[in-house]
Structures are given as C-alpha cells and as structure tokens.
C-alpha cells in the first residue's frame, strides 16, 4: 500500500503550490525491521525521476541547512528545511555528475553557490539558482597507455567527466576556488569568479583511460592553507597517492597495488586532520602522516574495501570506519587498533555502499546520555545477482550494533545523518530512488512542526502529481497519476473527489488554462498521458502514448483519446 502525505502546519492552499515537495512515497506494510511509518516523517519530496545526488548545505546562510536535489539526470532544485521547493528545476544540457556547495563570493557575502560538473562542462549557480558562468571542460590528450588502447579520437569521445569537485581557498583570501578531478586522472584548479583554469597537475605515471580519481583537502601543518590529497589509477595497473600544495606542487607520493576506493583525511578532531587514510580494492588500509608522507600503519582485510569515513565513538575518540564488499564494517582508532568489527550481511555478497558519520559531537550529545547514540548510518547494498532489490540503511552505535533499519534506501548511498539547525539533535535524510524524506530517527531526536496532517492510500506506486485549483473553489486539489493507470483527484482533506482508470501507467499531467472572454476564467482542462503496452498480431510488444483531455469533474472532452505510436516522454 502506498501513502501520499501532506505537511502541516500550513494552509493547504499554500502547501498545494509546492505539493510535489510534500508527496510521500512509502510502503504502508514494510518488512518488520523497517521504520516506514509516515508519522516519523517531517516531510517528504517526490522528485521528477531517479535521484542522482543530494547535497546538504546552508546555502542562504540562515543557520539552517537546505537540500540541493539532482533528479532525472539533469534537473537541479533547491529545497528549504521544510521540504519546500525554493527554486528549480534548473536544467543542465548534460547529465549532472557532481555538485558541491562553494563560496566564491567576497567575505561580506556568505551565501553559497553551487558548482555543477557535467560530462563536459563546469557550471556555477548563485544561491538563487541563476547561472553565473559556464565553461567547457577540455579533454586532455590521451596518455601513452590510453592511446594504445583507444587512440586519441576514441579517448576524446569518453568526455572529461569530473569525478570529484571540492572547494579550495588556495590563496587564503576568503574566496573558494574549484578543485576538479577528471576521469582522465588530471587535477585542475579553476578560478571561482571567472571559471578560468589556474593550474593543472598530471602525475609522473601516465593515468589509465579511466583513472578513478579521488581528491580530499586537509591542513597538514595548521597554517590555514589547505593541502590536497589526490589518487588516480595508472595505465600500468597500480594507483598513485599524492599530497599537493594549494598551488599544485607535489609534496610526496606513493604507489599502491590495486585501485584506491577510499580516501579520507584523519586527525584528532574535525579541524586538525593531519593524516591521510587510503583503502584499496585489494583489501589494504594504510594511514600516512600528512606532513612527511611516512606510513604510520597498514591493515590487511583480504576483501575489497568500498568506502572510508572518519567518525567519532564514545568519549570523542576519532575512528576510521572501513566498509567492505562483503557487508562487514571495521573501525580503527588512530593507532590502528580495531574498535568495531561487525558483519551486517547474512551472506558475504552485499557490499557496504556508503558510511555516513553522525555530525553531532560528543559534547552536543551530553543531553542524550540515557538514550542510544547513533554513530554511523551505513547503506548495505543488494547482492550483485539481485540488483533490482533495494538497499538497506542501518543506524549503528559505538559498538557497531544496528539500532534500526530502513528499507528501501537509495543504492547510490545518498541517505545520511544530519543536524540541519545545529541544535545537537539528529534528523535522518532518507532517499529511495525518486523520493526524499526528512525523518525523525526515533532515537532521541526532537519533534519539529513538520508533522503529517493527512494521508491518502494508493494500492500502487504514484508516478506523477500536480497541485492546482481544479474546480475553482479557491482551494487547491491534488491530481495523482499511478502505475496502475488510475488518475485520482484528492481534496485538501485527503478525500478522493473522483477517479479515472485509463490503464497502462499515468506518466504526465498538465493543465490547460481557459478564459471566458471576460475578466473571469473557466475551470482548467486536465491533460493526462498514460503509456500502454500493446501486443500486435505478430506477438511483438510495443508502447503507445495515449493523451486524454478531461474536464474538472473528470469527464472526457474528446470522444476518443489521442493515440501515438510511441511512448510519451515529456509534456
């Protein structure tokens, strides 16, 4: 059973304007271990397609985080802390690969901008979603190994494809530059004001044609000027790990067997991260001193490492949390002593896709000492043979014990623990395919004003929704199209006004505004698109797009729908 949830307290006439930000897509009969009760959700947002990435940052500098959502590959929107769409979608010409909040403004303007990396472009948006500049990312010439495999023309067709973007105040002037790692293994720094390239670093070993570049920034000497940890895979089959200065000079480097799959600064606290941790697909974890590059310790797990994260356990002890391809999590303290070792997958075939550390410090949690304290949120992916199955999100404590589990969760590892208003109490951002919800963890968090006011049950997954004053009663209604071909009109109390069953899948909705020739207007007409599978006389299945035109009471305007020989993908 599926639920649609509205958010309160707000007049429905206002909320309906942004009801897509309040569309909760949740199973009402989840597995016994899942926390899927809509009453635990502050708000929910149904994206226009699959969520590609979600960035969390205080974009408008009001002390409360906003949510930057990328859906359906190229649609960028900004949601405020209540789940309301502030602006968007801003549409890029190419799929979005990376998005990061940066501050390229003067120190007197603390609002953040958004750096967006697509296949061949770098774009900067201001806090209002307006484009400040856009540049083409030039593809570097092919290296020797890549040239032998692909040739230069094929190499260039692979596109620049930024794998990571980080803000970097390279000259310590209070303005961020943009540090970009490309698929080709090249590292570039761009001016945040203009988009001009400042420098490029290419390692001494030629990169492979898919170099799997990773970057992180840290301050190894405490002079407030950051250094850059950088890794890439070479065409000779090993990885290079380097530390660079902010102006692109090499300080030290190491060569490692295998591919680097995790790169994490580590230190005594969040502000003093002076060490660099590296994990590989060969099951090796190494910790380096940031200043000298000396290896401090190494640990061999004999299973591929999937992710690394810095976190805290009881008494403020920093740890390095290591996720593996077999569903096992290990955490080491700074001396390399194992403090957590847990197996979460019943069979060793489910990888840990991501580990998100609790942003709340031990000091801020003092009031929660009588409650279980969440330390990490881990995403446990499906087995490789069952990739259609959902991922699980587990909240774990300092011993690695799973406190609660959420299903389904995003297989991209987009769910995370938050403290959006810096009050020392957790929220959980839960993502699953095209839905995003901010939730109460149920473990000592505060209950805010974003409570569910009503819920309307569907038998199947909702596909599309539209809010408008359909019947002109000065109160907005909600049109919902579902996967079973049904179209529902729901009033502001959550009651169904009418329902039409078209068959197929209702994929698109729109309104046609009408005027009566005077100062007034007529009730709008409803355009509904449903895509139907049809088997012809030869037994071949095709998809047809059917376009229906309806009155406000749900009756048809056209005696027959408009039938197209192909599926409708946009309206």
Q: What is the pLDDT of residue 444?
A: 42
Helix (H) / strand (E) element for 311: namely: strand 305-313
User: Of the ranges 222-231, 257-266, 326-335, 363-372, which one carries the lowest mean pLDDT score?
Assistant: 363-372
* Residue 541, Cβ density class (10 Å: 0-12 exposed, 13-18 middle, ≥19 buried): exposed
User: Of the ranges 45-49, 173-177, 271-275, 548-552, which one carries the lowest mean pLDDT score?
Assistant: 271-275
Q: Show the CA angle centred on residue 399, arms to residues 394 and 405, nearest 5°.
A: 15
Q: What is the pLDDT of residue 104?
A: 93
More confident residue, 423 or 349: 349
Is the predicted pLDDT of residue 9 greater than 50, yes or no? no
Compute the average pLDDT of residues 242-265.
96
Q: What is the pLDDT of residue 372?
A: 60
Of 227, 181, 431, 214, the closest CA to residue 307 belongs to 214
pLDDT band for position 471 (cuts 50, 70, 90): confident
Burial 459-475 (b: 16+ CB within 10 A, else e): eeebbbbbbbbbbeeee
Compute the average pLDDT of residues 53-79.
93
Q: What is the pLDDT of residue 10?
A: 35
Is the predicted pLDDT of residue 16 greater than 70, yes or no? no
Of 414, 394, 413, the closest CA to residue 404 belongs to 394
pLDDT in tens, 175-201: 999 999 999 899 999 999 999 999 999
List of long-range contacts for 56-62, beta carbons under 8 Å, 24+ apart = 56/416, 56/418, 56/420, 56/429, 57/101, 57/112, 58/112, 59/101, 59/111, 59/112, 59/114, 59/127, 60/111, 60/112, 60/127, 61/110, 61/111, 61/112
Of 492, 491, 562, 497, the closest CA to residue 529 belongs to 562
Domain range 137-300, its CATH number among 1.10.3720.10, 2.40.128.630, 3.40.50.2020, 2.60.120.380: 2.40.128.630
Q: What is the pLDDT of residue 445?
A: 37
| Assessment of whether the complete model's pTM goes beyond 0.95 | no
Q: What is the mean pLDDT of the chain?
A: 82
Percent of the chain with pLDDT over 90: 48
For the chain, how many residues are written?
571
Compute the average pLDDT of residues 70-85.
91
User: Of the ranges 49-53, 269-273, 328-332, 517-521, which one carries the lowest mean pLDDT score?
Assistant: 517-521
Q: What is the pLDDT of residue 4?
A: 45
Compute the average pLDDT of residues 511-530.
79
The CATH code that applies to domain 459-564 is 2.40.128
Contacts of 89 (CB under 8 A, 6+ apart): 48, 71, 75, 76, 77
User: Of the ranges 74-78, 410-414, 529-533, 534-538, which one carries the lowest mean pLDDT score?
Assistant: 534-538
Domain boundaries, given as residue ranges, for the chain:
137-300, 459-564
The 8-class DSSP code of residue 327 comes to S
Compute the average pLDDT of residues 112-136.
96
Is the predicted pLDDT of residue 28 greater than 90, yes or no? no
Q: What is the pLDDT of residue 400?
A: 92
Helix (H) / strand (E) element for 428: namely: strand 427-432
More confident residue, 158 or 24: 158
pLDDT band for position 18 (cuts 50, 70, 90): very low
- 8 A C-beta contact, residue 429 and residue 435: no
Fold: same for 137-300 and 459-564: yes
Q: What is the pLDDT of residue 484?
A: 81
Is the predicted pLDDT of residue 523 greater than 90, yes or no? no
Helix (H) / strand (E) element for 238: namely: strand 238-244
Q: What is the pLDDT of residue 455?
A: 47
């Amino acid at each position: 059973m599926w639920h649609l949830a509205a958010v309160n307290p707000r007049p429905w006439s206002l909320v309906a304007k942004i009801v897509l930000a309040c569309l909760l897509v949740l199973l009402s009969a989840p597995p016994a271990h899942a926390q899927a009760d809509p009453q635990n959700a502050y708000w929910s947002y149904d994206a226009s397609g699959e969520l590609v990435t979600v960035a969390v940052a205080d974009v408008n500098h009001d002390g409360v985080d906003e949510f930057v959502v990328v859906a359906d590959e190229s649609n960028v929107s900004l949601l405020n802390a209540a789940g309301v769409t502030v602006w968007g979608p801003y549409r890029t010409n190419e799929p979005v690969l990376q998005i990061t909040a940066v501050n390229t403004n003067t120190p007197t303007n603390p609002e953040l901008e958004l750096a967006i990396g697509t296949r061949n472009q770098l774009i900067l948006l201001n806090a209002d979603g307006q484009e400040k500049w856009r540049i083409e990312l030039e593809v570097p010439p092919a290296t020797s190994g890549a040239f032998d495999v692909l040739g230069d023309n094929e190499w260039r067709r692979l596109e620049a494809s930024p794998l990571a973007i980080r803000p970097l105040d390279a000259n310590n002037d209070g303005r961020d530059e943009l540090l970009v790692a490309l698929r080709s293994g090249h590292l570039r720094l761009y001016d945040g004001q203009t988009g001009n390239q400042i420098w490029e670093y290419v390692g001494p070993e030629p990169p492979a044609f898919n170099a799997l570049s990773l970057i992180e920034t840290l301050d190894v000497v405490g002079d407030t000027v950051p250094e850059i940890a950088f890794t890439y895979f070479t065409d000779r089959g090993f990885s290079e790990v380097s530390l660079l200065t902010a102006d692109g000079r090499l300080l030290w480097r190491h060569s490692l067997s295998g591919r680097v799959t995790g790169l994490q600064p580590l230190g005594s606290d969040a502000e003093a991260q002076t060490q660099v941790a590296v994990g590989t697909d060969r099951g090796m974890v190494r910790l380096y001193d940031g200043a000298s590059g000396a290896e401090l310790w190494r640990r061999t797990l004999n299973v591929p490492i999937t992710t690394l994260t810095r976190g805290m356990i009881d008494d403020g002890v920093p740890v390095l949390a290591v996720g593996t391809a077999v569903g096992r999590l290990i955490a080491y303290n700074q001396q390399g002593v194992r403090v957590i070792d847990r197996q979460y997958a019943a069979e060793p075939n489910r990888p840990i896709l991501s580990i998100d550390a609790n942003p709340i410090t031990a000091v801020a949690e003092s009031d929660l000492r009588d409650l279980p304290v969440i330390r990490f949120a881990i995403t446990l992916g499906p087995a490789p043979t069952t990739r259609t199955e959902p991922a699980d999100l587990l909240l774990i404590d300092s011993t690695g014990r799973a406190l609660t589990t959420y299903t389904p969760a995003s297989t991209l590892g987009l769910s995370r623990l938050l403290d959006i208003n810096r009050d020392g109490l957790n929220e959980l951002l839960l993502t699953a395919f095209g839905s995003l919800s901010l939730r109460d963890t149920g473990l000592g968090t505060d209950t805010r004003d974003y409570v569910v006011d009503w819920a309307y049950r569907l038998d199947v997954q909702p596909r599309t929704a539209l809010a408008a004053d359909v019947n002109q009663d000065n109160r907005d209604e909600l049109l919902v199209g579902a996967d079973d071909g049904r179209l529902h009109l729901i009033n502001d109390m959550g009651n169904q006004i009418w329902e039409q069953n078209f068959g197929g899948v209702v994929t698109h909705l729109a309104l046609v505004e009408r005027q009566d020739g005077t100062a007034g207007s007529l009730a709008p007409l409803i355009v509904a698109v449903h895509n139907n599978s049809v088997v012809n006389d030869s037994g071949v299945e095709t998809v047809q797009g059917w376009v229906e035109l309806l009155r406000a009471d749900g009756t048809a305007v056209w005696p027959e729908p408009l039938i197209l020989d192909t599926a409708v993908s946009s309206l």
